[in-house]
Structure 1
Amino acid sequence: MPPVPTVTATRTTSAPPTWAILERELFAVQDKAWRTFAGRYTDGAGRLIFRDTLGVGLDGRDGVDDFYEPFFNWPTLYLLGGSADILAAAHRHWQAVTDQLAEMSMLHERLERGYDWFHQGEGMLLFYGLCLARPDDADLRTLATRFADFYLPGGPNYDPEHRVIRAPHNGSEGPRWGFSDEEAYFPWSLALRPYGLPLDWIDEAAPFDELAGSPERARAYGRAMWDRMGRGDTLVNLASTSLVTNAYLLSGDRRYADWVAEYAGAWRDRLSGHEVIPDNAGLTGVVGEYLDGRWYGGHYGWAWPHGVHSVGMAALVGALNAATVTGDHGYLEIARNPLDTVMRHGEQRTADQMGTLGRRWRPHLAAMPADTTFMVPQRHDDSGWFDFTVLPNQLTVSLWHFSRDSADHDRVERLRELSNWDWTTVHTQRLKDEAGHEEPWWEFLAGRNPGFPERMLRSALETCDAKVTAIEADPVDPATGPSALDIHHWQDRNPIVTEALLQLTTGSPQILYNGGLAQLHVRYHDADLRRPGLPDDVAALVSDISPDHTVVDLVNVGGTPRSVVVQAGTYAEHELRTVGVDDDAPQPVEGRYVTVRLPAQTQVRLTLTLTLRAVPPMVQTPWEDR
């Protein structure tokens, strides 16, 4: 590895920028907030205080993800510059919750026994974050490869001849056929009925009410659902590629990269001859094998209530993973296709014509001056495309962020032109995925929203404060409250917010919630402590990530000199070509890192030129890089 170039800040700042003060405040308040959460909802061992049990009843496979989700972004906060204590706590909680779930028979060999990857992807985020934050942890490395081996040829889940994962519910015990471990009764028919039952074209889906005298009809419907949707492959299984990509990034073993390429390639091949990527394949790899030839109708697919949210997310996760491990951006067509397809069928609609899953967009549309805005169909069944809503720009912006392709940029701009609500406004809201502010960030990067950093940071501070207030005022005492505590209770009160810090400090969107791996444009290390993240007192702002240059401002707001290593890419996969300091002419450099020395109360602007993905990715630190 070539010597790491070093630059030194020379501009003093007695009055640091407001954004820098707010950024450091956000780190400080969150360091207190997570302790408040842990003190209220976890016991001395780190387990969630829960007096009920999981694994019983018709929906007995559900719940594992909900135990990990309250901590999902804690390692990310550490990676950005949070205290070492939060990483230690996140690891302790992961270990303790894993033991807790194992005692409830929800895990086998510390991994979920078998469930859908829409939920497994959510539950794995904590583990992926720990692996990225602690790449030298031998136990985490061992677990990462063991988990991935369940999906490689020779493991229980994958059929290499037909390139299929054998069932929608899968895991450490292999295919887990159907939807529950009890009688073939479809357990969610009451919950799904407001959205329309999946596979409403089958005879068994004729109107019935399992609570009003027709339980046998419900069982018949359940048996039909098991037969048609409870076996074979489903597009949402693409999220499992993160499990295997994580093993490759930690180990460098090409077996894992080859499997990701092979499995994502199978779904890319299934796109051939279809307008849009199918959501299902039978055990022989044939699209529509159990659905009378239909390309839609798979589990968490196009006819499911989540529609493009689950399909688009899984397609994007799988595409990014395949492109990461191979360097072949042709895999990105898997992600582009569903977005372009629903946009072709989009139309202008009024706010009261919003379909399901529209909660996130209510404040945006409520303030909209126009009568209509562009919406896309989320779902498809025998009647065609239906259920219109605003297209989640986490998908479109994340795709562009990875590719920097002009066509991906133009897709976001096209959506902006068609949208009649204000893309610059920061709405203070936090759903569990902690995303949803892609539009004002996009406008900031485009130079059309200069006040974004301060507004976004103030919004994040408000959100964190509201969560702490809710914890302190929570009428439910987990130690003495109802035994059947809602298992979403904890994630609703998680006070950690990382979206603002990811966008502003690294120039990156929020990590994809249904199982994505971190894709950071730049990241940082404390050069003195040799740990990930910004040092104490240091704030960062990435204001431009154009394909030809990156602009990073670093500010030391304190009275102690600090040193920062700026890394190009999450996995040091980008190559630095030049570094410009303030107004000086850029100087040629080599490698993936630059060290910045920040004397007390100084600031510096770096203008970097990068070659994206010029080096094979690997999870390691600058001090062990070779």
Structure 2
Amino acid sequence: MTCATLAAKTRQQPPDWAMRQRQLIAVMDRAAHPFVEHSTRPDGTLIQRTVWTSMDGTDNGYEAFLSFPLFYLLGGGEHIHRIACKEWDAITYQYANYGTVEREFVTGFDWFHHSESYTYIYYLAMADPENHIDRALRYAPNWDAQHCMIRSPLNGSKGPRFVTTQTDWDYHRPILSGYLAPYEDIEGADSSDPLFRVDWTDDRVFARVLDQINQRMTRGDVPLNLSATSLITNAYLYTGEDKYRQWVLDYLQAWEARCAANDGIMPDNIGPNGIIGELMDGKWWGGYYGWRWPHGARNIVEPALVAGSCALLMTGDMSHLDLARSQLDMLWENRREENGQFQVPARHGDRGWFDFRPPDPHFYIHLYYLSQSAED
């Protein structure tokens, strides 16, 4: 292989944008210490409540500092890297004492929130790739090899969380009151409004919601779990062990098969025996972080794109993006035009597609960035 040689003969003034970028980096370098002093104790733990019981919220602790290793990679000072490492350890220690982290991994929550937490460790690994620390998700007992599925939407270092309690949701309840109700057949449902809400802070209402969640949502697989491929892909990148690459490919293929079996639409709930709609009266919609609740299509397309991106990175095979493409195409096929603007459905419920909105450009941009294909 012949390497080209480039020779620079003249020195030029850096462009204005580059100078301003370095000025910004210098300002951010200086801002780090005041931010840390304001937000943390001397040992690095966050200045916040002394008790934390909810399964939600641990991700928010990590998110406070996940940008630090990324900023270091972009040109931040060495002190940024030191802070990033210290805060990862301090926050992990803090939430382990709360009881929401065990063996350096969240005990049991969903991959919408795991993904937010563990972006931090991905950046840390990039910033210091020689620091080999085993912080990988334990497969068993989260993984069902027979059905090629993650056994619950709520999973982590303590395995699948099949039953949730009032305490698990205490941080969530006032927040979720602002979203549409998780079920359309819940007592007090407004049949005229598909976006009707229920008051999660009302103990009587919440008891009914919790009972239905435990009956229908906490057992089996959901598309959101495809985001776990990011963690396993990182394990492959730093070890080269083919078992990690193969796991990602097998899991993505399992969801492709489920999509094909459901007329080209990814089902949002797979029961304990690997059956679509098993706990939802045969409906392919209505699962945890699925087509209807709480965010809708975003939580289907995004994990499919994450898994496809990971598979593409490890194989170079562009066809791994097809699952995400197919769901974007399907939503586009169900579009409608309103006031001269195209809108696609964000949700699906018992009465079909609803909550039409302009297409989210982020998915299309990420897809095109990866493929550089005219079709995208």
Aligned to 2:308: 319
Q: Structure 1 residues 96, 6: closer, same or farther in 2, change over 3 A?
A: farther
C-alpha spacing 1:21/1:115, structure 2 compared with 1 (3 Å): same
Matches of 1:228 and 1:297 in 2, distance apart?
9
1:56-76 Cα offsets, whole Å, 9 max, x none, are xxxx11111000001112211
Write out aligned runs for 1:11-30 (5 A).
11-14=10-13, 16-30=14-28
1:399 matched residue in structure 2: 367
For residues 309-348 of structure 1, the aligned pairs below 5 Å read 309-348=298-337
Q: Report the identity percentage.
A: 37
Per the alignment, do residues 311 and 120 of structure 1 end up closer, same or farther by CA in structure 2, a change over 3 Å counting? same
How far apart in 2 are the matches of 1:66 and 1:233? 25
Deviation of 1:205 (Å): 6.2
1:252 is matched with which residue: 221, 240, 253? 240
Q: CA RMSD in A?
A: 2.4
Cα displacement (A) at 1:284: 1.6
Maintained 8 Å contact 1:167/1:232: yes
* Distance in 1 of aligned mates of 2:201 and 2:230: 40
Q: Secondary structure at the match of 1:375?
A: strand
TM-score, length basis structure 1 = 0.55
Instruction: Tell me, in whole angstroms, the C-alpha distance in 2 between the residues paired with 1:122 and 1:163.
Output: 24
CA–CA distance in structure 2, aligned partners of residues 306 and 404 of structure 1: 28
Structure 1 pair 209–197 and aligned structure 2 pair: CA distance change class (3 A): closer
AA paired with 1:330?
Answer: S
Instruction: Show CA shifts across 1:404-447 (max 9, x none).
Output: 22211xxxxxxxxxxxxxxxxxxxxxxxxxxxxxxxxxxxxxxx
Among candidates 251, 257, 261, match of residue 263 of structure 1? 251
Distance between the aligned counterparts of 1:127 and 1:391, measured in 2?
Answer: 31
TM-aligned CA distance change 1:394 to 1:224, over 3 Å: same
The answer to whether the 8 Å contact 2:56/2:171 transfers is: no
User: Superposition pairs for residues 283-322 of structure 1, below 5 Å?
Assistant: 283-322=272-311
For residue 108 of structure 2, what is the aligned residue in structure 1? 114
8 A Cα contact 2:177 2:201, kept in partner:
no
Q: How does 1:234-249 map to 2 (within 5 A)?
A: 234-249=222-237
Distance change (3 Å), C-alpha of 1:28 and 1:114 = same
Contact 1:74–1:90, Cα closer than 8 Å, also in 2: yes
Q: C-alpha displacement at 1:7, in angstroms?
A: 2.1
Residues 245 and 257, structure 1, Cα contact 8 Å, conserved in 2: yes
The higher radius of gyration belongs to 1
Residue 112 of structure 1 contacts residue 171 of structure 1 at CA under 8 Å; is this kept in 2?
yes
Q: Which residue of 1 aligns with 2:194?
A: none
The DSSP-based 3-state class of the residue aligned with 1:388 is strand
The residue aligned with 1:225 is: 213
> Structure 1 pair 329/247, CA: closer, same or farther in 2 (3 Å)?
same
Q: TM-score, normalised by structure 2?
A: 0.90
Amino acid paired to 1:393:
P
Determine the structure 2 residue equivalent to 1:198.
Answer: 182
Counterpart code for 2:363: L
8 Å Cα contact 1:268/1:331 also seen in 2: no
Label 1:11 to 1:374 Cα distance change in 2 as closer, same or farther (>3 A). Answer: farther
Matches within 5 A, 1:429-448: none
Question: Whose relative contact order is higher, 1 or 2, with alpha carbons under 8 Å and at least 6 apart?
Answer: 1
Say whether residues 1:126 and 2:120 are aligned partners.
Answer: yes
* Structure 1 residues 176-210: Cα deviation after superposition (integer angstroms, max 9, x where no partner): 11343659x9985664454421221x355646767
Equivalent-residue separation in structure 2 for 1:95 and 1:233 (angstroms): 31
Distance 1:210 1:407 in 2: 44
Task: Give the 3-state SS of the residue equivalent to 2:375 in structure 1.
Answer: helix
Gaps of 5+ in 1: 351-371, 409-626
Superposition deviation, residue 97 in structure 1:
0.7
Contact 2:149 2:221 in 1 (8 A): yes
SS across alignment from 2:280: coil
Compare the two structures and name the one with the higher helix fraction. 2
* Alpha-carbon distance between aligned partners in 2 of 1:114 and 1:381, rounded to the nearest angstrom: 27
Q: Return the alpha-carbon distance in structure 1 between the equivalents of residues 39 and 314 of structure 2.
A: 39
Distance apart, 1:380 and its partner CA: 1.0
Aligned length in residues: 368
1:131-166 per-position Cα deviation (integer Å, ceiling 9, x unaligned)? 111111122xx22xxx23x12xxx210001001100
In structure 2, C-alpha distance between the alignment counterparts of 1:102 and 1:186, rounded to whole Å = 18
In structure 1, C-alpha distance between the alignment counterparts of 2:329 and 2:290, rounded to whole Å: 17
CA distance in 2, matches of 1:17, 1:210: 55
Amino acid paired to 2:21: E
Aligned to 2:271: 282
- Measured in 2, the distance between the counterparts of 1:31 and 1:348 equals 48
The answer to whether the 8 Å contact 2:72/2:78 transfers is yes
Counterpart for residue 195 of structure 2: none
After superposition, residues 407-422 of structure 1 pair within 5 angstroms as 407-408=375-376
Matches within 5 A, 1:86-165: 86-139=80-133, 142-143=134-135, 147-148=136-137, 150-151=138-139, 155-165=140-150
Q: Deviations over 1:304-329 (max 9, x none)?
A: 13112222211111111122223332
1:163 is aligned with what amino acid? C
1:170 has 2:168 as partner: no
**How much has 1:17 moved relative to structure 2?**
2.0
Indicate the residue corresponding to 1:76 in structure 2: 70
The 2-side partners of 1:102 and 1:85 are apart by 26
Amino acid at match of 1:10: K
> 2:349 & 2:367 partners in 1: Cα distance?
27
Q: What residue number does 2:342 align with?
A: 374
